[in-house]
Amino acid sequence: MSTTKTDAAEVMSSAPADDTGTGEGPGGPQLGPVGWLRWLWRQLTSMRVALVLLFLLSLAAVPGSLVPQEGSDPVKVQDFVDRHETLGPLYEKIGMFHVYSSTWFSAVYILLFVSLIGCIVPRTWQFVGVLRARPPAAPRRLERMPAHARWSTDAPADEVL
Examine residue 96 and state whether it is found in any structural domain, yes or no.
yes
**pLDDT of the chain, 161 residues: tens digit per residue:** 555 555 655 655 555 555 555 555 566 668 888 989 888 888 888 889 999 999 999 999 999 999 999 988 899 999 999 999 999 999 999 889 999 998 989 999 999 999 999 888 888 888 898 899 998 888 888 888 888 788 888 899 888 87
Examine residue 64 and state whether it is found in any structural domain, yes or no.
yes
Task: Report how far residue 109's alpha carbon sits from residue 131's, in angstroms, rounded to the nearest whole number.
Answer: 31
Tally the domains of the chain: 1
pLDDT at position 123: 85
Examine residue 155 and state whether it is found in any structural domain, yes or no.
no
Examine residue 86 and state whether it is found in any structural domain, yes or no.
yes
Examine residue 19 and state whether it is found in any structural domain, yes or no.
no
CA-based angle 23:29:32, to the nearest 5?
75
Examine residue 138 and state whether it is found in any structural domain, yes or no.
no
Full domain range(s) for residue 81: 33-130
Ordered DSSP codes for the chain: ----HHHHHHHH--SPPPP-SSSEETTEEPP-HHHHHHHHHHHHTSHHHHHHHHHHHHHHHHHHHHS--TTT-HHHHHHHHHH-TTHHHHHHHHTGGGGGGSHHHHHHHHHHHHHHHHHHHHHHHHHHHHHHSPPPPPPS-GGGSTT------SS-HHHH-
Cβ pair 34, 85 in contact under 8 A: no
Examine residue 14 and state whether it is found in any structural domain, yes or no.
no
Examine residue 159 and state whether it is found in any structural domain, yes or no.
no
